[in-house]
Amino acid sequence: MGQVHVLNHPMIQHKLSYIRDKNTGTKEFRALVQEVSMLMVYEITRDLPLMETEVETPVAVAKTKVIAGKTLAIVPVLRAGLGMVEGILNLIPAAKVGHIGLYRDPETLKPVEYYCKLPPNVADREVIVVDPMLATGGSAAAALTAVKERGAREPKLMCLVGVPEGIRTVQQEHPDVDIYVAAIDDHLNDHGYIVPGLGDAGDRLFGTK
Ligand code: PRP
Ligand code: URA
């Protein structure tokens, strides 16, 4: 069974508080989401495999280590996942970026896929699906299905805020997937919003409300 990791680093928790604040404007909200995303990926990638190499310093040859294997692929779920990409690329500039377009049908709250484009060789890459919100879990589960159908093996899921309902859905549909969140909130309201959450992540990132 995949594990649920709550990333409790004080910097992540501190910034998340400002992200949640309804008085935080679009510009600051955007910047904070990027910063937290970078910090979360820093934590998530601490177990990446390394391989030995040698570099010539100005003084001598040093036996050192570099990350083994193909570069990471991050896959934001459109739209709100886009708000996390730049922060992650600040940390891992060579990461490839795929995109999955999903929207929640406002009546059924079920995800509908409208776009999917992934980097080549996803089977050989560490794939991290990113979306700020894990609410019913429908979008995340559908995104994970989409990347797996295209070859991703053991993708990870990274969200800022989740709720137990959404975590359960992902675990039921994708028992192999590790889930990383900065917080697990209390519940979903009747409109499918996380309580207390941070509101509509896409609208707050893009100023569309
Ligand atoms: C939000 C969010 C997730 C989804 C989570 O996107 O970014 O993708 O809802 O909800 P779920 O867990 O119940 O599926 P939304 O559908 O509002 O689209 P947007 O990113 O375009 O704003
Ligand atoms: N999507 C959001 O943007 N916010 C929520 O609270 C739930 C789903």
138-156 per-position pLDDT tens digit: 999 999 999 999 999 999 9
Q: What is the pTM for the complete model shown?
A: 0.95
Phi and psi (nearest 5°) for 53? Answer: -150, 180
Question: How would residue 103 be classed by pLDDT, with cut points 50, 70 and 90?
Answer: confident
- Kindly write down the DSSP assignment for every residue of 56-107, as one continuous string: E-SSSEEEEEEE-SSPPEEEEEETGGGGGHHHHHHH-TT-EE-EEEEEE-TT
SS3 109: coil
Proximal ligand: closest to the CA of 106:
1
Which atom belonging to ligand 2 lies closest to the Cα atom of 192?
Answer: 7
Q: What is the pLDDT of residue 36?
A: 98
- Cα separation, 128 vs 209, in Å, equals 28
Which atom belonging to ligand 2 lies closest to the Cα atom of 200?
Answer: 3
Question: How would residue 32 be classed by pLDDT, with cut points 50, 70 and 90?
Answer: very high
Q: To 5 degrees, how large is the angle CA 86–CA 90–CA 95?
A: 80
Q: How far is CA 97 from CA 74, 183, 184, 189, in A?
A: 5, 25, 26, 32
- Catalytic (active site) residue 64: no
**Tens-digit pLDDT profile for residues 106-145:** 888 788 899 999 999 999 999 999 999 999 999 999 999 9
| Residue 180 identity | Y
- Catalytic (active site) residue 169: no
Task: Please list, residue by residue across 192-205, b when 16 or more beta carbons sit within 10 angstroms of its beta carbon and e when fewer do.
Answer: ebbeebbbbbbebb
- Catalytic (active site) residue 46: no
